[in-house]
Amino acid sequence: MSLNQDFIREASALLGQEQFFVSEPMSKHTTFNIGGPADYLLFPANMEQLSQIFVLLKNYDIPHTILGNGSNVLVLDKGIRGAVIKMHAPMSYKRCEGNRIIAGAGAYLKHVSQFAAENGLTGMEFACGIPGSLGGAVFMNAGAYDGDMSGIVVQVKTVTHNGKILTYEKDELDFGYRHSVFQHNGQAICEITLELASGDKEAIQAKIDDFTQRRESKQPLEMPSAGSTFKRPQGYFAGTLIDETGLKGLQVGGAQISTKHAGFVVNSGNATAADVLKLIKEVQDRVYAKNGVKLFPEVRIIGEQ
Ligand SMILES: Cc1cc2nc3c(=O)[nH]c(=O)nc-3n(C[C@H](O)[C@H](O)[C@H](O)COP(=O)(O)OP(=O)(O)OC[C@H]3O[C@@H](n4cnc5c(N)ncnc54)[C@H](O)[C@@H]3O)c2cc1C
């Protein structure tokens, strides 16, 4: 797709230079440090502006992809055609109302979890080390240790392709294992209300510290990755299966099965998305041949190969 100069002019005027980029490498915006360029990258400042962006994209017939912190995606090497809308810093507000926290989709989970602790609210400690945005966590129903987002989200505000703002209540979110209704409707998650319980500040902080320590000792946090590469197959752990198949350290180009945690593919330096895809296929084939278990990626693969 060639770049549309009229769109560029209108989008620059709407967003300003700090929040609008053209031909932007997605390797700079994903925790894998992998990914070709997006034609356009936009950082909306608020829900109303996002709504205007959608109307503009529709007028120019430009497709869009929504991204949070890019911590659960593999962007392919030719990048993403059309617009990537990244819910980031401008939409990272948060406030506390009784036992509820209301926050923008761009807020880091880590910050919201810490904010809950500071306000003496318990229930979100599980999320303290997940390096995503709140919106991405709702989309994925992210979880760890003793909880996931389905246990704490009570309301979600979204913007549709037509620029309409909608409100979803808890029973409309269709949460399941790493699943939510938003995986099927393409809407942009903008604002989330969480319901937590009041608790003892010191006990909450101690739990966060314990989860952080456990994560740091087990996961290859010092290397670029997108977290667990595969979903947990029923009755197994992907990392254990991969380890037992003898694949720790297996490398294709710059992509490697972490030597610290076999559930993670890491970028050991200059990995391409093609390297990661080849490694994923190799692991799937060898684990299936040894154990008869099929592994499916948890990482969402987007863009052009
Ligand atoms: C080191 C490491 C550890 C991790 N540990 C965990 C863990 O313990 N548990 C866990 O569940 N995950 C884990 N992850 C994966 C990841 O952090 C989570 O899935 C996280 O919730 C993704 O959030 P994100 O903002 O980065 O989403 P992105 O990666 O940006 O996007 C993921 C998907 O959500 C969609 N999306 C994102 N934001 C929005 C939005 N506002 N509106 C609509 N759609 C949106 C995107 O289109 C994409 O399909 C880990 C990742 C890393 C790198």
Q: Is 244 a catalytic residue?
A: no
Q: For residues 31 and 226, is the Cβ–Cβ distance under 8 A?
A: yes
Cα gap 182→111, rounded to integer Å: 23
Q: Which tens digits make up the pLDDT trace of 253-294?
A: 999 999 999 999 999 999 999 999 999 999 999 999 999 999
Look at ligand 1, atom 48, and give the residue with the nearest C-alpha. 67
290 CA distance to ligand 1 centroid (A)? 30
Sign for the CA dihedral angle at 231, 237, 241, 247 comes to: positive
* 170 and 263 inside one domain: no
Clarify whether residues 76 and 27 are in a common domain. Answer: yes
Mean pLDDT of the chain: 97
Please give the number of the atom of ligand 1 that sits closest to the Cα of 226: 53
Q: Is 104 in the pocket of ligand 1 (CB under 6 A)?
A: no
- Of all protein residues, the one whose alpha carbon is nearest to atom 3 of ligand 1 is 227
CA distance 195 to 117: 13
Say if residue 164 is in the same domain as residue 136.
Answer: yes
Residue nearest to atom 27 of ligand 1 (CA): 136
Nearest ligand 1 atom to alpha carbon 66: 47
Mean pLDDT, residues 178-186: 95
Its domain, for residue 172, covers 93-218
Q: Which of 89, 111, 131 is the last residue of a domain?
A: 89
Q: Which of 27, 228, 258, 268 is catalytic?
A: 228
24 as an active site residue: the answer is no
**Which of 68, 89, 110 lies at the terminal end of a domain, its last residue?**
89
Counting the structural domains of the chain, the total is 3
Binding site membership of 130 for ligand 1 (Cβ less than 6 Å): yes
Domain's final residue, options 218, 248, 270? 218
168 and 284 share a domain? Answer: no
Query: Tell me: the pLDDT tens digits for 44-64?
Result: 999 999 999 999 999 999 999
Instruction: Kindly give the distance from the C-alpha atom of residue 136 to the centroid of ligand 1, in angstroms, as a whole number.
Output: 5
Distance CA 195, CA 211 (A): 21
Strand partners, 102: 95, 193
52-109 confidence digits (pLDDT tens): 999 999 999 999 999 999 999 999 999 999 999 999 888 999 999 999 999 999 999 9
Nearest residue (CA) to ligand 1, atom 1? 227
Same domain as 85, residue 99 = no
Could you tell me where the DSSP H helices lie in the chain?
Answer: 5-15, 47-59, 109-118, 134-140, 182-185, 201-218, 238-244, 273-291
Give pLDDT tens digits for 199-237: 999 999 999 999 999 999 999 999 999 999 999 999 999
Is 228 a known active-site residue? yes
Q: Which residues 6+ apart lie within 8 Å of 206 measured at CB?
A: none
Residue 223 forms part of a structural domain: no
Catalytic residue, from 81, 100, 178, 286: name it.
178
Same domain, 113 and 83: no
- Same domain? For 294 and 204 the reply is no
- Does the residue 171 lie in any domain? yes
Are 120 and 204 spatial neighbours (Cβ–Cβ below 8 Å)?
yes
- Residue 1's pLDDT is 63
